[in-house]
């Protein structure tokens, strides 16, 4: 009978059934390198989730695999490395199961997880490329780029002095003072941003207000935005000038009425003979050579505009004349302003040539160059302001202050013309030719092409003799022969 039971047992063997167990962090931790475990928590049929450990140069790593069958072949797809806790670039057990469930849905839909991964990678690459393009465009559409484009436009139109002035103001009062705003896309600049820039110059907390600088900054900013706004309909606009995406002009929204009333008054200050003598003495003692020569040249040349003098090149100086360029007004090409050279001018030109000699026969080199760049007009304004301050705290022989009231750089030019008229009786026509203003009438623009060098020379000779007498305290203004324009 026992034999029968044994025989029966042999005929009906016991069937052992086993199921893959769900993975645990303990099991994963105990897994040895080179081994692999499947996760029983993932229902089979559309792929399975597995984890394997392998040895790398950096140590042992555990990585998740999703495995499925397609056309009788087993396909295995790595979905990331394992981490017991949430770490960027890795998957916890729960995260891996969630991703495996998504991949099973992909398989059930008849799609390939590998193909889907490639599509997602390409989409990510395109998004990154587009983001880089947007960032590059943004860097090319900044406020700084818009201002640079405007400066380039001025230079292309021959407005070199205005370009230099605008570039200097933008550099000092936008680029350096507000680098964060300069780096913003120009289309994001608001009137409030412009107001902040101006408040730095004329705000209630500013002790030494720079009203005229603020007015010029606002004017140049408004012109720069206007130029960019109009570029989209201008076939001759510079490349890239129309790509700033502007919808308005934030600088033009800033009212200048109050600033203009305070800071843009027509100047009336002129120096008298005693003040001029003290000014010349202080100027002669000024330690910085180039600023001193520039302000002295302005005086001996009859009160020329400082910006035009500062742009003088070696090529602008001939044996008997110097040629300045007057870009004022809406003219596209600067008008040439030729002055005769008197000995006082020649002496300063010789000094400038010694400081900045011609190199490699480059006649375009600047005479007033300092460290490779032209002196800023603001530098000279500061010199005049410092001399004015010194004169107001210094006394003359009579015990009175050398200057009764403040004056600025623009008052020197006004002083020269006032004395040319009142002291030396130089006619209005000759003064206009000498100082290059009031020459926009039809007669001057269309018909009168003479350089009037003889009249200018006579006026400069009389003026330099006069200031020489002023310096020694014996100006001779009686019995002066009036200098009039040649018929």
Q: What whole-number distance in Å separates Cα of residue 36 and Cα of residue 372?
A: 71
> Who has greater pLDDT, 215 or 114?
215
Separation of alpha carbons 18 and 44, rounded Å: 14
Q: Report the alpha-carbon distance of residue 290 to residue 389 in Å, rounded.
A: 21
Closest by Cα among 385, 348, 340 to 368: 348
Q: pLDDT confidence of 479, banded at 50, 70, 90?
A: very low
Q: Which of 139-143, 365-369, 388-392, 408-412 has the lowest mean pLDDT?
A: 139-143
The residue among 47 and 448 whose pLDDT is bigger is 47
Give the pLDDT confidence of 56-103 residue by residue, as tens digits. 888 999 999 999 888 778 888 889 999 999 988 899 999 999 998 998
Give the separation between CA 374 and CA 183, rounded to whole angstroms. Answer: 26
Cα 221–Cα 224–Cα 226 angle in degrees, nearest 5: 110
User: pLDDT grade, residue 232 (50/70/90)?
Assistant: low
Residue 474 pLDDT more than 80? no
The whole-angstrom separation of Cα 431 and Cα 110 is: 93
Average pLDDT on 411-438 reads 91
SS3 242: coil
pLDDT tens-place string over residues 174-231: 999 999 999 999 999 999 999 999 999 999 998 888 888 898 899 999 999 998 888 7
Provide the terminal-to-terminal Cα distance of the chain, rounded to the nearest Å: 157
Residue indicated by tokens 């949430």: 86
Instruction: Identify the bridge partners of residue 317 per DSSP, sorted by sequence position.
Output: 322
- Spatial separation of the C-alpha atoms in residues 60 and 295, rounded to whole Å: 78
Residue 240 has pLDDT above 90, yes or no: no
User: Using alpha carbons only, what angle is made at residue 478 by residues 474 and 482, rounded to the nearest 5 degrees?
Assistant: 125
> Do residues 409 and 381 lie in contact, with contact meaning Cβ atoms separated by under 8 Å?
yes
pLDDT of amino acid 447? 36
Domains of the chain are: 25-109 (3.30.160), 141-263 (1.10.150), 273-471 (1.10.443.10)
Beta-bridge partners for 326: 335
Cα 44 from Cα 66, distance rounded (Å): 11
Which tokens go with 146?
């818009």
Average pLDDT over residues 11-17: 45
Nearest Cα residue to 42 out of 106, 89, 103: 103
Q: CA 264, 266, 269: angle at the middle one, nearest 5? A: 115
Tokens (6 digits) for 48: 């399975």
- The mean pLDDT value for 255-263 works out to 78
Choose the weakest-confidence range: 123-132, 166-175, 478-487.
Answer: 478-487
Q: Which residue has the higher pLDDT, 18 or 231?
A: 231
Phi and psi dihedrals of 28, rounded to 5? -65, -40
Contact 483, 424 (CB under 8 A): yes
Of 144-148, 255-259, 304-308, 350-354, the poorest mean pLDDT is in: 255-259
In this predicted structure, what is the pLDDT of residue 328? Answer: 58
User: What's the pLDDT at 181?
Assistant: 96
Q: What is the pLDDT, as a whole number, of residue 397?
A: 76
Q: Are 184 and 143 in contact (CB under 8 A)?
A: yes
Query: Is the pLDDT reported for residue 7 higher than 50?
Result: no
DSSP state, 272? -
Alpha helices in 25-112 (DSSP H): 25-30, 93-108
Instruction: Give me the pLDDT at residue 466, please.
Output: 96
Distance (Å, whole) CA 76 – CA 421: 98
Helices 453-471 & 273-284 angle (0-180, nearest 10):
90
Query: How many whole angstroms separate alpha carbon 231 and alpha carbon 239?
Result: 9
List residues bridging with 70 in a β-sheet. Answer: 73
pLDDT at 478: 43
Copy the structure tokens of residue 369: 């160059």
* Half-sphere exposure for 159 (CA within 13 Å, toward CB): 16
- State yes or no: pLDDT of 5 exceeds 70: no
Least confident among 52-56, 194-198, 351-355, 479-483: 479-483
Q: Which residue has the higher pLDDT, 283 or 120?
A: 283
- Asked if pLDDT for residue 453 goes beyond 60, the answer is yes
CA 24 to chain centre: 60
Q: 122 falls in which pLDDT band (50, 70, 90)?
A: confident
């Amino acid at each position: 009978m026992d034999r029968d039971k044994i025989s029966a047992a042999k005929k009906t063997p016991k069937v052992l059934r086993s199921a893959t167990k769900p993975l645990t962090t303990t099991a994963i931790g105990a897994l040895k390198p080179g081994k692999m475990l499947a996760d029983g928590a993932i229902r089979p049929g559309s792929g399975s989730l597995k984890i394997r450990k392998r040895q790398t140069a950096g140590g042992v790593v555990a990585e998740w695999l999703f495995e499925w069958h397609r056309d009788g072949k087993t396909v295995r797809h790595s979905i990331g490395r394992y981490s017991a806790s949430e770490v960027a670039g890795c998957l916890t057990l729960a995260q891996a199961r969630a991703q495996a469930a998504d991949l099973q849905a992909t398989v059930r839909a008849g799609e390939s997880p590998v193909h889907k991964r490639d599509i997602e990678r390409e989409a990510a690459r395109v998004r990154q490329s587009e983001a880089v393009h947007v960032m590059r465009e943004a860097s090319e559409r900044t406020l700084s780029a818009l201002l640079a484009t405007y400066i380039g436009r001025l230079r292309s139109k021959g407005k070199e002095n205005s370009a230099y002035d605008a570039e200097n103001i933008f550099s000092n009062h936008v680029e350096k003072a507000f680098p964060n705003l300069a780096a913003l896309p120009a289309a994001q600049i608001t009137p409030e941003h412009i107001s902040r820039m101006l408040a730095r110059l004329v705000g209630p907390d500013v002790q030494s207000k720079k009203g005229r600088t603020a007015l010029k900054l606002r004017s140049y900013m408004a012109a720069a935005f206007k130029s960019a706004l109009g570029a989209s309909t201008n076939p001759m606009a510079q490349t890239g000038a129309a790509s700033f995406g502007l919808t308005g002009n934030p600088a033009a929204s800033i009212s200048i009425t109050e600033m203009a009333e305070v800071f843009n008054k027509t100047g009336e200050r002129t120096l008298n003979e005693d003040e001029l003598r003290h000014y010349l003495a202080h100027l002669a003692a000024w330690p910085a050579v180039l600023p001193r020569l520039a302000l002295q040249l302005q005086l001996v040349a009859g009160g020329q505009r400082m910006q035009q003098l500062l742009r003088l090149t070696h090529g602008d100086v001939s044996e008997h004349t110097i040629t300045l360029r007057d870009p004022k007004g809406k003219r596209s090409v600067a008008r040439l302003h030729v002055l005769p050279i008197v000995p006082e001018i020649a002496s300063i030109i010789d000094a400038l040539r010694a400081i900045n000699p011609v190199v490699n026969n480059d006649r375009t080199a600047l005479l007033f160059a300092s460290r490779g760049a032209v002196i800023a007009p603001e530098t000279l304004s500061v010199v005049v302001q410092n001399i004015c301050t010194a004169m107001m705290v210094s006394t003359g022989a009579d015990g009175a202050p050398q200057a009764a009231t403040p004056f600025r750089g623009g008052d020197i030019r006004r002083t020269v013309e006032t004395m040319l008229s009142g002291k030396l009786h130089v006619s209005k026509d000759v003064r206009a030719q000498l100082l290059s203003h009031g020459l926009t009438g039809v007669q001057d623009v269309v018909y009168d092409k003479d350089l009037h060098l003889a009249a200018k020379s006579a006026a400069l000779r009389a003026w330099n003799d006069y200031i020489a007498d002023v310096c020694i305290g014996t100006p001779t203004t009686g019995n002066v022969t009036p200098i009039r324009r040649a018929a």
